Amino acid sequence: MKRRHFEPEHEMFRKSFREFVKNEIAPHYNAWERAGITPKEIWKKAGAHGFLCTWADEAYGGAGCRDFRYDQIVAEELAHTPGVAFGLHSSVVAPYLDRLGTEEQKRRLLSRAVAGEAILAVAMTEPAAGSDLAGIQTRAELRGDHWLVNGSKTFVSNGINADIVIVAAKTDAANPRAIGLFVVETGMPGFERGRKLEKLGYHAQDTAELFFHDVEAPCANVLGDPRKGFHAIMRLLGDERLAAACGSLAVARAAFDLTLPYVKERKAFGQPVADFQNTKFKLAEMKTELDIGQAFIDRSVMEHNSGELTAEMAAEAKLWTAELAGRVTDQCLQFFGGYGYMWECPIARLYAAARVHRIWAGTSEIMKEIIGRSLLK
Ligand SMILES: Cc1cc2nc3c(=O)[nH]c(=O)nc-3n(C[C@H](O)[C@H](O)[C@H](O)COP(=O)(O)OP(=O)(O)OC[C@H]3O[C@@H](n4cnc5c(N)ncnc54)[C@H](O)[C@@H]3O)c2cc1C
C-alpha cells in the first residue's frame, strides 16, 4: 500500500534519522542489549542532531514541528533496535513538561530534555497499583516551600538512566483522585534507585524500581495543579497510547519485513518455504492487517495533529496494534523455525519486545474498558 501520509520534509527527516540509526545505534546495539542499558552519550548525540522532542518550541531548543508524524518516523526507524527509548522520552514524558510546565520549568527542564542532556522518565506504577492509578500509595505533603515525597515505584522505563523523573503522588488522603505530578531530579536526597529489572524483551532499555524517602521536591518542581494531576494524566495518556500504537505497528512491520525475504530464501522439501500455500496465506493475512492497521494509525496521527484524537480512538489504536504486533511477531517467528527462537536471530528480539505492548501504557483489557464505557455513555 502506498502511504500518502508524509510530505517531502518528513522523508528528509526520515533519511537523516535512518542514517543516524545506521551509524550511531546499530553497530553498538548488541553491546547495549548485553549491558541492559543505552549509554547516556547517545541521547546527547540524538539531541545535538535535533532528533529529540522535535515538536518543542524553538525557545527551548526544539524545531517547533508540532506534527506527530515526526514522532511516528522515530518509532518506525527504531523498530529494529527495540529499547532505544527516544519515543518514550520525546513523545510520552516530555509532553508533561510542555503541557503542564510553567515558562520557568520549560526553560529549566524541557530545554535539557531537547538537548539530550537530561533523560526523562515517568513513574506512576507501584508494586501494588498499575492499571488502577487511584490506588497508588506514594504520598506528597506540602511543607512550606517544598513537598515531601514518600513511596516507591516500579517498572519505570529509563529508571536508571533518568535525570528527571515525573512522579505521581497522592496529595490528599481523603480524595483518591487528588494526585500531583512532582519533578524529582538525580541528586535529590532520599531519591534512590533500586534494581535494574531483568525483562523478557527490550533488553537495551533499563527498567527500574525507584524509592523516595522524604524527598524534598521544591514547589517549583510541581507540574500543574498538585490536586488535579489525575485529569492531566488521563489527557496525556492519549498521546502515550498513540505513541505506543505507532511503536506496535512498527514492530509488526519490522517482523514482516524480516520474514518475507527469509521464506523466499529458506528451502524445505526442495522448495522455498514461501511456496507452501500456508505461507502465502499467512503472509497475505499479515500484509492485509498491517496495511489496514497503518491506515487507521496514520489517520489517528492526523487527528492528533488537529487536536481531535479522542481517548477512545487512541485506545482503539493502542488495542488493535498491540494485539496485531503479538500475532504478527508470533507467526513470523514460526516461519523462522528453530532459528527464530535463538536470540541472535532478530525476529526473537521483536517477538519478545511485542509481548509487552499488550501490557504497558494501559493493558489491552483496560483499552477495552475505555472503548466499551464510551459506547454505553
Ligand atoms: C517493560 C515495562 C515498562 C513499563 N514502563 C513504565 C513506566 O515507564 N512508567 C510507569 O509508570 N509504568 C510503566 N510500566 C507499567 C505498566 O504501565 C503496567 O505494568 C500496566 O499498566 C499494568 O499494570 P500492572 O502491571 O500493575 O497490572 P495490574 O493492574 O495488576 O493488572 C493485572 C491484570 O489484571 C487486568 N485488569 C486490571 N484491571 C482490570 C479491569 N478493570 N478490567 C479487566 N481486567 C483488568 C489487567 O489487564 C492485567 O491483565 C511498564 C511496564 C513494563 C512491563
Rounded CA-CA distance 120/88 in Å is 8
Q: Is the CB of 363 under 6 A from ligand 1?
A: yes
The count of residues in the chain is 377
In sequence order, what are the beta bridge partners of 150? 139
Residue 2, in any domain of the structure? no
In sequence order, what are the beta bridge partners of 141? 148
What band does 377 get if pLDDT is binned at 50, 70 and 90?
Answer: confident
Enumerate the H helices of the chain as residue ranges. Answer: 8-20, 29-35, 40-48, 68-77, 86-87, 94-100, 103-105, 111-115, 229-265, 277-305, 311-335, 337-340, 346-355, 364-375
Is residue 124 over pLDDT 90? Answer: yes
CA distances, 130 to each of 25, 83, 344 (Å): 32, 21, 33
Number of other residues whose CB lies within 10 A of the CB of residue 283: 18
**Are the C-beta atoms of 259 and 336 separated by less than 8 Å?**
yes
Is residue 2 over pLDDT 90? Answer: no
Q: Do 169 and 203 belong to one domain? A: yes
Rounded CA-CA distance 7/5 in Å is 7
Question: How many whole angstroms from 138 Cα to the centroid of ligand 1?
Answer: 17
What stretch of H or E contains 218? strand 207-218
Specify the CATH number for the domain of residue 96.
Answer: 1.10.540.10
Number of other residues whose CB lies within 10 A of the CB of residue 146: 18
Rounded CA-CA distance 114/191 in Å is 24
Rounded CA-CA distance 227/181 in Å is 9
pLDDT tens digit string along 156-165?
Answer: 999 999 999 9
**Are the C-beta atoms of 237 and 354 separated by less than 8 Å?**
no
| 91, 131, 132, 206: residue to mutate for ligand 1 pocket, most atoms within 8 A of CB | 131
Q: Do 200 and 287 belong to one domain? A: no
Nearest ligand 1 atom to the CA of 88 is: 8
pLDDT recorded at residue 1: 82
Q: Do 298 and 363 belong to one domain? A: yes
Residue 28, in any domain of the structure? yes
pLDDT recorded at residue 135: 95
Q: Do 106 and 134 belong to one domain? A: no
pLDDT tens digit string along 275-313?
Answer: 999 999 999 999 999 999 999 999 999 999 999 999 999
Query: Could you tell me which residues come within 8 angstroms of residue 305 by beta carbon, excluding any fewer than 6 positions away?
Result: 66, 67, 68, 69
**Are the C-beta atoms of 92 and 98 separated by less than 8 Å?**
no
Is residue 55 over pLDDT 90? Answer: yes
Q: Do 358 and 254 belong to one domain? A: yes
Residue 3, in any domain of the structure? no
User: Model's pTM, two decimal places?
Assistant: 0.97
Q: Of 240, 289, 316, 323, which is the active-site residue? A: 240
Is residue 355 over pLDDT 90? Answer: yes
Q: Do 147 and 34 belong to one domain? A: no
Residue 250, in any domain of the structure? yes
CA distances, 17 to each of 73, 221, 254 (Å): 9, 33, 17
> What 3-state DSSP class applies to 180?
strand
Ligand 1 atom 43: the closest Cα is on which residue?
A: 365
Output the CA torsion sign for 12, 115, 245, 348: positive
Q: Do 112 and 140 belong to one domain? A: no
Is residue 117 over pLDDT 90? Answer: yes
| Percent of the chain's residues with pLDDT above 70 | 100
**Closest of 364, 352, 329 to residue 202, by C-alpha:** 352
What interhelical angle do 364-375 and 311-335 show, nearest 10? Answer: 140
Number of structural domains in the chain:
3
Q: Do 208 and 270 belong to one domain? A: no
**Are the C-beta atoms of 364 and 323 separated by less than 8 Å?**
yes
Residue 245, in any domain of the structure? yes
- Look over the chain and give the mean of its residue pLDDT values, rounded to a whole number: 97
Residue 56, in any domain of the structure? yes
User: Average pLDDT in the 204-211 region?
Assistant: 98
Phi, psi at 176, each rounded to 5°: -65, -15
Q: Do 169 and 186 belong to one domain? A: yes
Rounded CA-CA distance 88/72 in Å is 12
pLDDT tens digit string along 76-93?
Answer: 999 999 999 999 999 999
Is residue 126 over pLDDT 90? Answer: yes
Which residue range is the domain that position 336 belongs to? 230-375
Q: Do 184 and 249 belong to one domain? A: no
Q: Do 242 and 355 belong to one domain? A: yes
> What 3-state DSSP class applies to 334?
helix
Q: Is the CB of 254 under 6 A from ligand 1?
A: no
**Are the C-beta atoms of 139 and 149 separated by less than 8 Å?**
yes
Is residue 176 over pLDDT 90? Answer: no
Nearest ligand 1 atom to the CA of 362 is: 21
What band does 242 get if pLDDT is binned at 50, 70 and 90?
Answer: very high
Output the CA torsion sign for 314, 316, 317, 321: positive
pLDDT recorded at residue 95: 97
Residue 1, in any domain of the structure? no
**Closest of 348, 355, 142 to residue 255, by C-alpha:** 348
Rounded CA-CA distance 143/145 in Å is 6
Ligand 1 atom 41: the closest Cα is on which residue?
A: 366
**Are the C-beta atoms of 138 and 167 separated by less than 8 Å?**
yes
Residue 261, in any domain of the structure? yes
Q: Is the CB of 156 under 6 A from ligand 1?
A: yes
Measured distance between the N- and C-terminal CA atoms of the chain, rounded to whole angstroms:
36
